[in-house]
A = this chain, B = another copy of it.
Amino acid sequence: VNVLNPYRTSSSPAIDRLSCLAPLSERDRAALAEAMHERSRVRPRGELLREGQAIGRPKLLLEGWAARVRMLDDGRRQFMSMLLPGDLVGSCRQARPLAVATVVALCEVQWCHAPEAEPGSGLGQAYAASAAFEEAALLAQITRLGRMTAAERICDFLLELRTRLAMAGLASDTSFDMPLTQETLADALGLTSVHVNRVVQGLRRDGDLQWKGGRVTLTDPDALAAKIGRVEIRVSEG
Bound together, the chains give a CA A73 to CA B226 distance in angstroms of 11
A233 touches B (CB below 8 Å): yes
Task: Please determine whether A142 and B147 come into contact, CB atoms closer than 8 angstroms.
Answer: no
Please classify the interface of chain A as helix (H, G, I), strand (E, B), loop, or mixed, using the class held by over half of its residues. Answer: mixed
Residues in chain B near residue A180, CB distance under 8 A: none
Contact yes or no, A98 B236, CB < 8 A: yes
Q: A138–B147 Cα gap in the complex (Å)? A: 16
| Interfacial residues, chain A to chain B (CB-CB below 8 A) | 52, 54, 68, 70, 72-74, 76-78, 80, 92-98, 100-101, 125, 127-129, 131-132, 135-136, 138-139, 141-143, 145-148, 189-190, 229, 233-238
Q: How far is the CA of A190 from the CA of B141 in the complex (A)?
A: 12
- Say whether B142 contacts A98, CB under 8 Å: no
- Measured CB to CB, the closest approach of chain B to A98, in angstroms, equals 6
| A147→B52 contact, CB < 8 A | no
Q: How far is the CA of A145 from the CA of B97 in the complex (A)?
A: 26
- From A52, A68, A95, name the one whose CB has the most chain B CB atoms within 10 angstroms: A95
Once the chains bind, are A147 and B190 in contact (CB under 8 Å)? yes
List chain B residues, Cβ under 8 A from A234: 52, 98
- Smallest Cβ-Cβ distance to A136: which chain B residue: B100
Partner of A132, one of B80, B97, B235, B237: B97
Contact partner of A233 among B76, B100, B135, B233, CB < 8 A? Answer: B100
Interface centre among A70, A98, A142 (most CB of B within 10 A): A142
Having A135-B135, A135-B138, A146-B190, one finds 17 other A-B pairs with CB under 8 Å, namely A70-B143, A72-B148, A73-B229, A78-B142, A78-B143, A78-B146, A93-B93, A93-B127, A93-B131, A94-B236, A97-B132, A97-B236, A98-B234, A100-B135, A100-B235, A142-B142, A145-B146
Residue pair B235, A72 in contact (C-beta under 8 Å): no
A94 touches B190 (CB 8 A): no
Least Cβ distance of A100 to chain B in Å? 5
Given A54-B237, A95-B236, A237-B98: A138 in contact with B128 (beta carbons within 8 A): no
Q: In the assembly, what is the distance between CA of A189 and CA of B146, in Å?
A: 7
**Residue ID in chain B nearest A22 by CB atoms:** B95
A92 contact set on B, CB distance < 8 A: 132
What are 28 A-B residue pairs whose CB atoms fall within 8 Å in the complex?
A52-B234, A54-B237, A68-B139, A70-B139, A76-B147, A78-B142, A78-B143, A78-B147, A93-B93, A93-B127, A93-B128, A94-B125, A94-B128, A95-B128, A96-B237, A96-B238, A97-B235, A98-B236, A100-B136, A100-B235, A101-B139, A138-B142, A142-B142, A142-B145, A145-B145, A145-B146, A146-B189, A146-B190
